[in-house]
């Protein structure tokens, strides 16, 4: 029977059990436990845990879902809303992400888009199931992020940093965990079909040749010299990734998002780039021979500027005479996009 409360691929732990996951607890500091709010805020501020406990407390009950496939039902937490604490510091207009950093030897971290953190009701929690948080479970104070895999719930909270640009967290950057982490969409790893072992391998080897990974989440990742020849990477998210020198020859990248990516000296020869987005991407030295560009975009026409685009797409792609594109590939584009490329790139007849 399908349990409607259990996301796909999860199992409930035995009653009362709560597994421990991740690094060991850090040493207790001598003085009081403090939490800093800093970064893109008007008023950086240091709180003691006692001060936080004077703020209006909030109780929530949620099911914990760990990416390693266990779930724990109806766990209650008491704390203060992250939004309440951050509001004392008044975020700047460009504060688009929030990063949590742990008081641990490896400065463990994770991050969320700031609007998502507010909408989900992220909690700074010091009690679980009516008792002070155990040290192993992040005591004295941890983050609780509802509706996301539990790796977005940082233990031993030390710093809350508001950021203009995202900074991938520890598991996200080191182990290829998905940066959105929605258990109902099974966003476990960079691509849904991958195992943990496969993710480790593909991050280490950067050899994705002839692999098929749809909806790959590779935004912001360092993937210099990636070999993705012949790969099927439809709908992949490569926004702001470093793909300098990457090889995408013959690969299927339809609807892939490359906004703000570094694509210097990357090669796309023979690739399917239908519907791909290249706004603000650096395409200097890149090769686009015999590519299929139907519906691809390199800049956003200015007459659409009335709608609020995210910052990464405000700029056109960086294209110059070191960017190579086949003349017949230009025919796939709408006239304004074709004219943009033709005026800047080296157009070759092949």
Rounded alpha-carbon distances, angstroms, from residue 276 to 32, 209, 253, 290: 51, 19, 7, 15
Taking the C-alpha atoms of residue 152 and residue 62, their distance in angstroms, rounded to an integer, is: 14
The nearest distance, CB 122 to ligand MTE, in angstroms, is 13
Quick check: 137 binds ligand MTE (CB under 6 A)? Answer: yes
* Burial of 83 from C-beta contacts in 10 A (0-12 / 13-18 / 19+): middle
Residue 100: contacted member of Mo ion, ligand MTE, none (CB under 5 to 8 Å, by partner type): none
DSSP 116: H
Of the candidate spans 39-47, 81-89, 151-159, 298-306, the one that interacts with ligand MTE by CB under 6 A turns out to be 151-159
Nearest to 213 by CA among 242, 184, 176: 176
Q: Is 112 in the site for ligand MTE (CB under 6 A)?
A: no
Determine, following the binding rule CB under 6 A, whether residue 47 of this chain makes contact with ligand MTE.
no
Cβ 73 to Mo ion, closest distance in Å?
17
In whole angstroms, the minimum distance from the beta carbon of 4 to ligand MTE comes to 22
Give 171: exposed, middle or buried? Use CB within 10 Å, 0-12, 13-18, 19+: buried
- Kindly identify the residues of this chain, within the stretch 152-211, that bind Mo ion according to CB under 5 A: none
Residue 21 engages ligand MTE in binding (rule: CB under 6 A): yes
Q: How far is residue 126's CA from residue 172's CA, in Å, rounded to a whole number?
A: 25
Q: Which is nearer to ligand MTE, 23 or 350 (CB)?
A: 23
Give the integer Cα–Cα distance in Å for 267 and 287.
Answer: 5
Q: What is the pattern of x (binds ligand MTE, CB under 6 A) and - over residues 78-107?
A: ------------------------x-x---
- In b/e form, how buried is each residue of 34-62, taking b as 16+ CB within 10 angstroms? bbbbebbbeeebebeeeebbeeeeeeeeb
Write the interaction track for Mo ion spanning residues 95-134; mark x where CB under 5 A is met and - where it is not.
----------------------------------------
Judged by CB under 6 A, the chain residues 287 through 326 that form the site for ligand MTE are none
Question: Out of Mo ion, ligand MTE, none, which partner does residue 37 contact, by CB within 5 to 8 A per kind?
Answer: none
Q: Which is nearer to ligand MTE, 139 or 275 (CB)?
A: 139
Interacting positions 152-171 with ligand MTE (CB under 6 A): 153-156, 171
- Compute φ and ψ for 346, nearest 5 degrees: -90, 110
Residues 6 or more apart from 35 whose CB is under 8 A from it?
46, 47, 48, 49, 52, 85, 124, 141, 157, 158, 159, 160
Q: Binding-site residue total for ligand MTE (CB under 6 A)?
A: 19
Nearer to Mo ion, 184 or 304 (CB): 184
d(CA 302, CA 265): 28
Residues 49-68 that bind Mo ion (CB under 5 A): 66-67
**Residue (of 32, 60, 27) closest to 47 by Cα position:** 32
Phi-psi domain of 72 (left: phi exceeds 0; alpha: psi -120 through 50; beta: other): beta
Q: How far is the CB of 329 from Mo ion (least distance, A)?
A: 44
Our CB check for ligand MTE shows the closer of 77 and 258 to be: 77
* Residue ranges in contact with ligand MTE by CB under 6 A: 18-23, 66, 102, 104, 108, 137-138, 150-151, 153-156, 171
* Residue ranges in contact with Mo ion by CB under 5 A: 21, 66-67, 150-151
């Amino acid at each position: 029977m399908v349990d409607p409360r259990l996301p796909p691929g999860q199992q409930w732990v035995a009653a009362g059990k709560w597994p421990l996951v991740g690094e060991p607890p850090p040493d207790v500091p001598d003085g009081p436990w403090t939490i800093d709010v800093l970064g893109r805020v008007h008023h950086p501020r240091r709180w003691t845990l006692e001060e936080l406990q004077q703020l209006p407390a909030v109780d929530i009950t949620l099911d914990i879902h760990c990416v390693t496939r266990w779930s724990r039902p109806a766990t209650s937490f008491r704390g203060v809303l992250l939004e309440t604490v951050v509001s004392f510091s008044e975020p700047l207009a460009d504060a688009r992400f929030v990063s949590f950093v742990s008081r641990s030897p490896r400065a463990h971290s994770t991050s969320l888009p700031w609007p998502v953190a507010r909408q989900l009701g992220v909690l700074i929690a010091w009690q679980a199931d009516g008792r002070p948080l155990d040290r192993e479970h992040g005591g004295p104070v941890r983050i609780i992020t509802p509706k996301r895999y539990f790796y977005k719930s940082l233990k031993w909270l030390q710093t809350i940093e508001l950021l203009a640009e995202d900074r991938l967290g520890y598991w996200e950057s080191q182990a290829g965990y998905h940066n959105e982490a929605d258990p109902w969409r099974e966003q476990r790893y960079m691509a849904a079909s991958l195992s943990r072992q496969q993710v480790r391998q593909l991050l280490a080897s950067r050899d994705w040749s002839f692999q098929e990974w749809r909806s790959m989440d590779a935004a912001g990742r360092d993937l210099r010299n990636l070999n993705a020849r012949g790969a099927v990477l439809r709908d992949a998210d490569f926004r702001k990734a470093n793909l300098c020198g990457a090889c995408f020859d013959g690969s299927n990248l339809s609807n892939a998002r490359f906004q703000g990516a570094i694509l210097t000296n990357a090669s796309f020869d023979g690739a399917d780039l239908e519907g791909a987005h290249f706004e603000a991407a650096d395409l200097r030295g890149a090769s686009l021979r015999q590519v299929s560009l139907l519906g691809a975009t390199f800049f956003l026409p200015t007459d659409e500027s009335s709608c609020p685009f995210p910052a990464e797409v405000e700029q056109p792609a960086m294209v110059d005479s070191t960017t190579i594109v086949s003349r017949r590939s230009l025919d796939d584009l709408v006239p304004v996009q074709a004219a943009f490329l033709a005026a800047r790139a080296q157009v070759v007849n092949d």
